[in-house]
Structure 1
């Protein structure tokens, strides 16, 4: 390969193939070429540096935006309610409506989606609404001497189970008008028909606590007597009540700023000189009150159920129970109530109801619930509410260390109709089961027939 060398002392190029360059043209060309290459490299480097400086914040912003969008997507997904919240409401953790005389909490449907506090509550509310369950749940806690003031509900019957305390309840019957009043103690049930004026006053030394069920899956519409009074023109109120002093007397009423739904004024002793808690005759009371705690206990291997319900069976029932059952059946959209105790390791076996939706409140204990729709399973604890639509199979298993106790409402005023898993297995021909489950017919002889009902069973 031919080589070119440069002799600095002679300032001449020498080559085997190139003649001498006495004028230095080649030398100048080489220097110019080197200068241009260096200049090009400087320009390229400058441009690259400028691009990095200019684009880096944008690239960083794009990267960060992409990261944030990914985070937002993850957060959006995590905020979406799980399928279990169609059936589960943590009511004990929901918003507490704190009033003078007590506290109210809800598991309900809201027509305006922005009125829900969480997406999980919205999933539950929209589930009971979509299924037409006609059931809304609430807890009502009343302080001693506190009063749930006289009111009525436009669009729902009210069923209540008193968890603790002692409450004096009054009901203004429809024409011929008369007041039925009674002292209710823990374990007793109340039934308050739609549009019937009623009130509740805590008359014991401890707080009273109700679990209430209302027969609507729309928004509950309620009117308190004081709200109606203050909304009435004063001259109309004066002409209606005809008090001494006329409209001047009506003008002495000043509407409080605070909601009086559960009322307990600080100067109550000054306002009330004498209170009389009358009790109506038991046969009149029995249309609205029922001592479920004292009724028959239906015992199973794994637990006990007691009922406040309508039944077609007339013989063998106490008169007060027949009166209450008749009252339930004569009103539209009333509920069947039950208390269910499941012993440790016990299970309310898989079953479904032909003619009722189910809504329940956990008084104490811990349960695992399975709903066959989408194979949903979840855990519930004290203060939780659960809902299962009509015809959907479900089970409830006690997974706590003690007894599981619940109050359960069923959306029927007729006799509740239920089918358990062991019953439909025992009453389906074994050759049909063999064809269905692809097992030999004799295999189904392993499933025993029980002499004792297994509604709540033990392992």
Structure 2
């Protein structure tokens, strides 16, 4: 009986909410005209309350960053980390559309512990820093001119993107075919699991190189790689000599522990050692910087996956630029997780996790984001400069689903029944992906 009363009460409440909505009316006597969409027959209509960022330290500079949005919230009375609050308006004063519980999907590399060596440094993000990112991890590494990330291999594939400078990569595959290449800014490399390789900063610009590494394994740790010096330091020296058919004294200078990153002379050539097996059939590097991006109304995008970068069978990337006020359209990825890296600018992302759960966060250069497969999201440029971001995926071929395209290619009556859109609005939905949409003209 109580359940019946509760159901009737809810129905009456919704009915009264619908009756309270203003109806369209007009009069020739000069009275005002009010237009409103009728209330839904099942749930109230979505709120029109503004939900922009509560402040914008990137554009406006120093600001009073308090958890207040309209009549909601109140000033912090206790200790505060004001600089951190200023950079995270959507965490401190979230939009009212945020709801439920979504795991943190932001990690600044500046929060990562830095491993400093003579000649460079490395810092990483994995599930220990951001537990939601179960399928991918990243490393930001810097090598001075000549410095070497020593000969090594991984149980995971390694995908690299050069941020600045030039990196010389070397490798030998399982068939004994070798490869050497200088990889410049905006270009890529990829080594399959177990393939040995090295990375070295060149003197092309006098400063060496800095790059991003991504691994399709969220638990990957840069500290767990298989290193040449580490291995030989843990094999009896007489066994090493026997393996190479030399005297034991030939190995007197083998380090007693791993080198990891160490200084050396800059490479003077990018020619591979003469190899009777020849060079690898599929190059380990790709000149992504030379790929012309596709222009959209709000920015650009270009893609590198196994259809163009043949060797990259486990990692794909989209490099996206978004102009001020524009956005990477509402979308999701069917089966691939997205590991994002912000190169320039300031962005805003809402992650929709289904079942009424959503969370909005803000990102700057050097930040990492993560969107699990099927989670709806967008990237909005909330700064006054171009936003540049890498969308990196644990897949061989890039895929996404556009919300706008989905609705445009669905029978109009069905869309109207769901969203209450009028015919004119439905007719303007794009049947092709917009990818990056510009600021509205009005």
TM-score (norm 1): 0.67
Cα separation, 2, equivalents of 1:304 and 1:216: 29
State the partner residue of 1:395.
Answer: 378
- The match for 1:116 is none
| Residue 108 of structure 2 is aligned to residue 107 of structure 1 | no
Question: By how many angstroms is 1:85 displaced?
Answer: 5.9
Q: CA deviation at 1:455?
A: 1.2
| Cα pair distance change 1:212/1:429, threshold 3 Å | same
Q: Identify the residue that residue 179 of structure 1 maps to in structure 2.
A: 178
Larger Rg: 1
Shift of 1:358: 0.3
**CA apart distance, 1:280:** 8.5
- Does 2:271 match 1:278? yes
1:159 aligns to what?
Answer: 159
How far 1:97 moved relative to its partner?
A: 0.8
1:431 aligns with 2:430: no
Counterpart position of 1:146: 147
Judged with a 3 Å threshold, the aligned counterparts in structure 2 of structure 1 residues 252 and 140 are, in CA distance, closer, same or farther, namely: closer
CA root-mean-square deviation:
2.7
Structure 1 partner of 2:362: 379
1:416 equivalent in structure 2: 398
Task: Give the structure with the larger helix fraction.
Answer: 1
Within 5 A, what are the aligned runs for 1:38-187?
86-110=104-128, 121=129, 124=130, 126-129=131-134, 133=135, 135-154=136-155, 156-175=156-175, 177-187=176-186
Is 2:208 aligned against 1:207? yes
2:312 to 328, 333, 341: 328
Equivalenced residues, count: 333
| Aligned counterparts of 2:272 and 2:245: Cα–Cα separation in 1 | 29
**Quick one: higher RCO (CA 8 Å, sep 6+), 1 or 2?**
2
Cα distance between partner residues in 2 of 1:279 and 1:407: 31
SS across alignment from 1:169: strand
Show the 5 A alignment for 1:434-445: 434-437=416-419, 439=420, 442-443=422-423, 445=425
Once the 2 structures are TM-superposed, how far is the Cα of residue 380 of structure 1 from its aligned partner?
0.4
Range with bigger deviation, 215-224 or 358-367: 215-224
Residue segments in structure 1 that go unaligned for 5+ positions in a row: 1-70, 72-80, 111-120, 312-320
Counterpart-to-counterpart distance in 2, 1:446 and 1:98:
56
Structure-2 separation of matches of 1:383 and 1:342: 16
Provide closer, same or farther for how the CA distance between residues 385 and 450 of structure 1 changes in structure 2, counting only shifts above 3 A: same
Equivalent residue in structure 2 for 1:455, among 412, 428, 435:
435
Change (3 A) 1:426 1:275: closer
Shift of 1:337: 1.5
Residue 405 of structure 2 contacts residue 431 of structure 2 at CA under 8 Å; is this kept in 1? no
Q: 1:136 to 1:250 in 2, by over 3 A?
A: same
Is the contact between residue 300 and residue 452 of structure 1 (CA under 8 Å) also seen in structure 2?
no
Q: Aligned runs of 1:285-324 on 2, under 5 Å?
A: 287-311=283-307, 321=308, 324=309
**Preserved CA contact (<8 Å) 1:355 1:416:** no
Q: Using a 3 Å threshold, how does the CA distance of structure 1 residues 254 and 416 change in structure 2: closer, same or farther? A: closer
Distance in 2 (CA, whole Å) between partners of 1:395 and 1:445 is: 21
Given the alignment, which residue of 335, 351, 354 partners 1:355? 335
**Is the contact between residue 181 and residue 285 of structure 1 (CA under 8 Å) also seen in structure 2?**
no
For 2:52, the equivalent position in structure 1 comes to none
Report the Cα distance in structure 1 between the residues aligned to 2:399 and 2:431, rounded to whole angstroms: 20
SS of the aligned residue for 1:128 comes to: coil
Counterpart Cα distance in 1 of 2:226 and 2:394: 24
Contact 1:180 1:285 in 2 (8 A): no
Which of 221, 229, 252 pairs up with 2:232? 229
CA distance in 2, matches of 1:137, 1:252: 33
CA deviation profile, 1:375-423 (whole Å, cap 9, x unmatched): 210100010000000001000001111101112211111x322111111
Give the CA deviation at 1:228: 0.3
Corresponding residue number in structure 1 for 2:84: none
